[in-house]
Structure 1
Amino acid sequence: MKKQIVLTIFLGLLCIASYAQQALGGATNIISPEVNSNQTVTFRLLAPNATEVKVSGDWMPAEGWVPGSVNMTKGEGGIWTYTTSALPSDLYMYSFLVDGFKTTDPNNVYLIRDVASVTNVFIVGDGKADLYQVNNVPHGTVARRWYDSPGNNKKRRVTIYTPPNYENSNEKYPVLYLLHGMGGDEEAWIALGRTSQIMDNLIAQGKAKPMIVVMTNGNVAQEAAPGESSLGFYKPTMQLENTMDGKMEETFSDVIKFIESNYRVKADKANRAIAGLSMGGYHSLHISRYYPNTFDYVGLFSAAIMPSQTTSPAYADFDNTLQKQKDNGYKLYWIAIGKTDFLYKTVTEYREKLDKIGMKYQYRESEGGHTWTNWRDYLSEFVPLLFK
């Protein structure tokens, strides 16, 4: 009787293990994507009944706001394949189109959410993307913390990177406040921007000073990222209340107060930096001006510089407060934009305004447009300039 029970349990475990392996491999040992030694990348998808399969990726020329796509070739066993030309070192996002239906790669478990879209990712190394890898270096800590925001009458979540050895030292650190773009949240820079990997690697290489990086949620209507708050699971959207209406700027002091009350920081202007992409660049511009003697370092990455549509005090008296920011002095005002970015013209006009009042800045113009490829570059270049 005991032997029968043992045999039954053994067979049951064998079935479970077999099912788990099948779920993991999709019953076929398909590797996709496969980054080849010559930096080409091969994609594979088992779809024997499909009549057309395409791969769409952000390395292809865009079709409007949508990445381009290319046909895959059907081979033996119904496996469709496509191999790219050699790709520059970077982190890439892609998806499949099966008879017009967009889907993720079932053989690639590495996915990232960008607003309401989920796409697979892969990294081609041997270049700048080595900064995006988890390398064998000392690692910092990433924490999600909740803080009181009296200005928004709620508790809100923030993502915080502390540098290697923070927990084992008594040292005080400078702080970079890093803001996301429209549709993003406190997860955007840590996931799409690879912030913790970039920071670990730059610090290990001696190219950046150890610092705390605070990644806020710029949508003050939210407690936290979708699915991470009391609102539960809902479809993310870019159309949120209180977006770019001044409320983020007006209540940003709640974030600073929390950080400086709960972390070992150097709480002075010389040790505070603020930067952001797109909407976050807009917020960084106005926060640094609204609190004109608070930040010595400001970074505007593809900043969404546009006229205010509200009467918020954060946007009032723009020219005089910008002049006051200039007169108070700062160490770095850094502006970056892609040549084909749809915001290129407004950034150019803002630079002309700065030139007119003699407000010094560093300018970085890159190829490409409004993309995470550029924003990861900008972060990797901006961080080494801080707190010198």
Structure 2
Amino acid sequence: MKQRLLMFVMGCLMTLSAWSQETVAVNTGNIVSPELNETERTVTFRMFAPKAEEVTVEADFFGRTKMQTPLGTVEVPERKAMTRDTTGVWSLTVEMPNPELHTYCFYVDGMRMVDPNNVYMIRDIATYTNYFLVDGELSANYFVREVPHGTVSKVWYPSPNLGMERRRMTVYTPAGYEDGTERYPVLYLLHGAGGDENAWSELGRAVQILDNLIAQGKAKPMIVVMPNGNGAQEAAPGEYPNSMYKPSFMNPKTMEGSFEVAFSDIMEYVKSHYRTIDDKAHRAIAGLSMGGFHSLYISANNPGWFDYVGLFSAAINREAKGENSFIYADLETKLASQFSESPKLYFIGIGTADFLYQDNVNYRKLLDQYGYQYEYMETDGGHIWSNWRKYLNHFLPELFK
């Protein structure tokens, strides 16, 4: 009797387990979204929402539209309506966009949602979006390919200049680093406002770009250090004690000199813990937006540190005030010293629709006034990751020649 009862209970449990697994499969396994049709060059989005009255898609390649608000007319991302079938699945098929990493989300009766059928998501500041990759010449290096892969480490280092015993940064070492004795050049790659030490490796596809360019022989094997540029943070939100807060665009100790003053802490740690070639000719610094701002002023204040500088959609102007005002004071004098040492590459990239475009135009006029040599790259679009990935893909092959 006991044996029969045990077999009955086990059978029930097995049935419940199978039912549970089947439920999961129904919810996430039967709907493909997005579906890329290479033959027809289309993308189809799908969403199961049988009780919804309206479902729309917002994607980075749909463009923008104007909307009336109490504050006036503003531009917002365009949304496209989906169509519901008899099973409650909403869908929309559109022409496949240009090769790139593309982001999108759904709105179900006005409520923003990520795609429950697409596990590939990225966080930009406090917003999650789904993404998919369209292959092509422009995006070829954004994919994981069958090439030797570097190692990505989350490294904690002391920062006495910020009064912290530990801060975190992401460090990329090229394939073969752990098994060899070779020394490598170093690129310090800085994120923008609201970002953190995860931004370049996740949103920027920096790891894939490095692996692919190095494997192709187009870029030198290098160590890439991606620190956290928010001087009040130990690490990305949620990654250090008492940090489970909503990430924000502007953070304390970001553009008032603290990070620039403390940058030597990062360099000292890298020098003592990695096999680097420790001279100016084998050091580079680059960053996007706020990171470009940091790159500009760190390199200008330390003309003997970097032979390669990259400003990607960089913020430029800063009024000199506060205890670290010396970082931003007398920029023209500092640039004179920096360019007197003839940096091998001073790169500026900006999109024509970027809100920082005119600031970059004015900055180039200043450089032109003194005859300072730099490389300039102008692209379509605004203050967006698709531009910053392009600049990195272009910048890396020019380093350490």
TM-score (normalised: structure 2) = 0.93
Superposed displacement of residue 262, structure 1 = 0.4
C-alpha spacing 1:25/1:206, structure 2 compared with 1 (3 Å): farther
**Residue 157 (structure 1) aligned to one of 153, 164, 168:** 168
Paired residues of 1:39 and 1:88 also in contact (CA < 8 A): no
Paired residues of 1:25 and 1:107 also in contact (CA < 8 A): no
More off after superposition, 319-328 vs 16-25: 16-25
- Residue by residue over 1:153-176, the C-alpha shift from the partner in whole angstroms, topping out at 9 and shown as x without a partner, is 111100011101111110101011
Superposed displacement of residue 309, structure 1 = 5.2
Superposed displacement of residue 66, structure 1 = 4.2
Which residue is equivalent to 1:216?
Answer: 227
Which residue is equivalent to 1:138?
Answer: 148
- Residue by residue over 1:322-380, the C-alpha shift from the partner in whole angstroms, topping out at 9 and shown as x without a partner, is 10001122100000001111111000000000011111000000111110010001100
Partner Cα distance (2:355, 2:42) in 1: 30
Count residues in correspondence: 388
C-alpha spacing 1:310/1:22, structure 2 compared with 1 (3 Å): farther
Query: What amino acid maps onto 1:96 in structure 2?
Result: F
Quote the RMSD (CA, aligned, Å).
Answer: 1.6
1:45-56 equivalence runs, <5 A: 45-56=47-58
- Residue by residue over 1:71-108, the C-alpha shift from the partner in whole angstroms, topping out at 9 and shown as x without a partner, is 11111211111111121111011100111110100101
C-alpha spacing 1:299/1:25, structure 2 compared with 1 (3 Å): farther
Partner Cα distance (2:321, 2:26) in 1: 53
Partner Cα distance (1:7, 1:127) in 2: 60
Partner Cα distance (1:65, 1:241) in 2: 29
Superposed displacement of residue 16, structure 1 = 2.8
Which residue is equivalent to 2:61?
Answer: 59
Superposed displacement of residue 205, structure 1 = 0.9
C-alpha spacing 1:60/1:169, structure 2 compared with 1 (3 Å): same
Superposed displacement of residue 127, structure 1 = 2.8
Paired residues of 1:138 and 1:164 also in contact (CA < 8 A): yes
Which residue is equivalent to 1:36?
Answer: 37
More off after superposition, 237-246 vs 193-202: 237-246
C-alpha spacing 1:293/1:30, structure 2 compared with 1 (3 Å): same
Secondary structure, aligned partner of 1:76: coil
Which residue is equivalent to 2:88?
Answer: 78
**Residue 299 (structure 2) aligned to one of 288, 292, 297:** 288
Partner Cα distance (2:275, 2:63) in 1: 46
Which residue is equivalent to 1:115?
Answer: 125
Which residue is equivalent to 2:97?
Answer: 87
C-alpha spacing 1:18/1:141, structure 2 compared with 1 (3 Å): farther
1:263-342 equivalence runs, <5 A: 263-308=274-319, 310-311=321-322, 312=324, 313-342=326-355
Partner Cα distance (1:104, 1:118) in 2: 7
Paired residues of 1:302 and 1:370 also in contact (CA < 8 A): yes
User: Runs of 4 or more off by more than 4 Å in structure 1?
Assistant: 1-4, 63-66
C-alpha spacing 1:40/1:99, structure 2 compared with 1 (3 Å): same
C-alpha spacing 1:262/1:27, structure 2 compared with 1 (3 Å): closer
Partner Cα distance (2:160, 2:28) in 1: 53
C-alpha spacing 1:143/1:28, structure 2 compared with 1 (3 Å): closer
Partner Cα distance (2:299, 2:45) in 1: 45
C-alpha spacing 1:292/1:15, structure 2 compared with 1 (3 Å): same
C-alpha spacing 1:357/1:117, structure 2 compared with 1 (3 Å): same
Superposed displacement of residue 62, structure 1 = 2.7
Query: What amino acid maps onto 1:318 in structure 2?
Result: L
- Residue by residue over 1:5-59, the C-alpha shift from the partner in whole angstroms, topping out at 9 and shown as x without a partner, is 4564465245335424533541661000111114321000011111111000111
1:4-43 equivalence runs, <5 A: 5=6, 8-9=9-10, 11-26=12-27, 29-37=30-38, 38-43=40-45
Query: What amino acid maps onto 1:325 in structure 2?
Result: Q
C-alpha spacing 1:126/1:112, structure 2 compared with 1 (3 Å): same
What residue ranges of structure 1 are gaps of 5+ in the alignment?
none
Secondary structure, aligned partner of 1:166: coil
C-alpha spacing 1:236/1:362, structure 2 compared with 1 (3 Å): same
Q: What fraction of aligned residue pairs are identical, expressed as a percent?
A: 50
- Residue by residue over 1:132-157, the C-alpha shift from the partner in whole angstroms, topping out at 9 and shown as x without a partner, is 11111110010001000000011110
